[in-house]
Structure 1
Amino acid sequence: MPLSNVSQPYAAITLGSNSFNMLVANTVGNKPTVIAKYKRKVRLAEGIGDDGILSEDVILRGLDCLSMFASMLKQHHIATENVAVFATATLRVISNADEFHRRALPILQHEIEVISGLREAELIYQGMVATTQGDGRRLVIDIGGASTEFIIGDGCNVLFKTSVPMGCVLFNQRFFTQYPLQHVDFTQAIEYVGTMLAEYREQLLTLGWQNVLGASGAVQSVVSVLQHRQCAEIITVDILNSFRDDILSQQDASLSGITGLTAEQAPTFAAGVAILIALFECLSIESLYLAGGALREGVLQLLADRIANA
């Protein structure tokens, strides 16, 4: 392919409440082509105190990851104007966000843009459309560390979007604090999801959908365990209830007896399974598939379009 058809490299960085991600890409044939991926489970939402202040040790954890990203930006020779840095729920709500921004700027050499939950939902949907085959009306669910986005769309058109302040890291702090876990932990978590979703449930069900896609670490963890066990990668409520039973049989937070679950996935696995069970029950979902991409891919597409039109 002629060199003129390949763009300069660019990077989409997303600072989530559970994971920080960076995608490096070139545009080839008008489409972003990822050439490198970097990810770290920073679990930013773990550090939110009752006073709304993000703790120093978690700030340092985040800044350390940004230092790694900065070195990768240099390694890939990415110009500052070809970088987008978007942050989500935790940096939306903490009272010392300005301090995090101030300390991050000299490391990344780039401003962090904190996006609203609705903007996040839009970008999640765009990332799904750019990476996932299929058509018809689709419900996309992205369970993050501190927020969960729900989007119904038809093709490229978004018909409904919302962001609900619940997620795996927050659920760990609220419901899954003491191992071995008990049935009541799941029951309380599931009831809480129903309460949080109550005001949107009727609108979601009225719009309806043909397929449900999950675009989150929670869904990725379930699918990766199914892959490891050489099972079909379709999530059903029976599979989720089976995972709940597996979790309840474990004696400690490592969940080391669950075949196919990695040490990185274990800390938020119970919370993710609980939220998914609740959503299957509340929204009468029959099956759920893993989307090809979500927020980071949406930001990447946004950046690619911005560079192409510059």
Structure 2
Amino acid sequence: MKLACIDVGSNTVRLLISEVNNRGKLKRLNTKRVVTHLGSALSETKALNITGKNLTVKALSKFIDLSKKYNVSHIYAVGTSALRESKDGQEFVDTIRKLLDINIEIISGQREAQLTYEGIKASLDNVDHTLILDIGGGSTECVYMEGEKIMHTSIPIGAIKLYDLFIKKDPPSKEEIIDAKTYVLTKLSNSKLAIDKPFKKELLATGGTATTLATIDLEINRYNGQKVHLHRLTRQRVLHIFKQLINTPFKERLKLKGLEKKRAKIIITGLLILIEIMDFTKSKALTISDYGLLEGLMFEKSLEANSFSTHRT
């Protein structure tokens, strides 16, 4: 069975086309991603970025055409933080449905975290002692196990949101970095992480900030999921890369090997959030995952399809 899954995020629209067999094993057939900055300036305007909306529609149209070439049985799409929080999110989803005949499910932070957990779980033998982190454009999702219960907290900070709020100079000033750090620490201190204290767990990060960190560390310009997946960095190495980036002007930053041009601005705030969480949870290292929400959605929908097929039989 072939399926296509799409994630409409605050910064990126991503596509995963996979074949899933009856045992639930996933084979990736194609992946695509387009940076749209859909959630840019959302914290100020409360509305989706107009250019980002146009880029999102174009990306979705191309993704749908590509999916049809693979003869997928269904295309599933979900929307996260930007569509959840914007005043025109549902209106945009309705417009896309009329234009492209595709329904985008705006999912809660809880469901986003659950899908991310399931996607990562499929690629690892055991995640019971893992704190899973997904730094998005508008929010940061944290998932971890407490006994047999999956715990989740959605923290209202993301790479785009933090950049829009604090970074005005190029390169950012010391005061801007300090103010941004203080803001992140306040949000963390008021989150469930401060109550549950999942501090003796392995830290595993997924999403654009994490995978970009890996490509910078690996010095690869062409994204390679196999190389990125399970790449490990110490806190010292993450901090070294962060300091290098915040002390480099934007135009010079564009030349850095492994850094995608459209992420050259918000990678600063994405890594700032990551480092603050590492310090808050006393993590000395982290592992990067190329799996996440899309894989979780793919497994969920394939199970539903198999269950429906079995029921009909």
1:190–1:277 Cα contact (<8 Å) kept: no
- In structure 2, the partner of 1:295 is 293
TM-score in terms of structure 2 length: 0.88
2:38–2:51 Cα contact (<8 Å) kept: no
- In structure 2, the partner of 1:71 is 65
**1:67 is paired with a residue of what secondary structure?**
helix
- In structure 1, the partner of 2:167 is 176
Q: Which runs of 5+ in 2 are unaligned?
A: 221-226, 309-313
- In structure 1, the partner of 2:135 is 143
> How far off its partner does 1:279 sit?
0.9
- In structure 2, the partner of 1:225 is 216
Matched, 1:87 2:79: yes
1:49–1:55 Cα contact (<8 Å) kept: no
CA distance in 2 between counterparts of 1:292 and 1:53 reads 30
Say how many residue pairs are matched.
Answer: 299
CA distance in 2 between counterparts of 1:235 and 1:188 reads 26
1:25 corresponds, among 8, 18, 33, to 18
Counterpart mapping for 1:107-126 below 5 A: 107-126=99-118
Say if 1:97 and 1:264 are closer, same or farther in 2 by CA, change over 3 A: closer
**1:267 is paired with a residue of what secondary structure?**
coil
Say if 1:141 and 1:204 are closer, same or farther in 2 by CA, change over 3 A: farther
> How far off its partner does 1:154 sit?
6.7
Say if 1:252 and 1:305 are closer, same or farther in 2 by CA, change over 3 A: same
> How far off its partner does 1:242 sit?
1.2
Deviations 1:156-176 (A, max 9, x none): x54310111110111121122
- In structure 1, the partner of 2:236 is 238
> How far off its partner does 1:238 sit?
1.3
1:132–1:291 Cα contact (<8 Å) kept: no
AA of the residue aligned to 1:57: T
AA of the residue aligned to 2:279: E
Say if 1:49 and 1:141 are closer, same or farther in 2 by CA, change over 3 A: closer
1:151–1:160 Cα contact (<8 Å) kept: yes
Stretch moving more, 49-58 or 95-104: 49-58
TM-score in terms of structure 1 length: 0.89
CA distance in 2 between counterparts of 1:60 and 1:160 reads 36
CA distance in 1 between counterparts of 2:92 and 2:193 reads 36
CA distance in 2 between counterparts of 1:275 and 1:195 reads 12
1:99 corresponds, among 83, 91, 95, to 91
Matched, 1:211 2:196: no
- In structure 1, the partner of 2:311 is none
Stretch moving more, 63-72 or 52-61: 52-61
**1:235 is paired with a residue of what secondary structure?**
strand
Runs of 4+ aligned structure 1 residues displaced above 6 Å come to: none
Say if 1:253 and 1:201 are closer, same or farther in 2 by CA, change over 3 A: farther
Counterpart mapping for 1:231-270 below 5 A: 233-252=231-250, 255-270=253-268
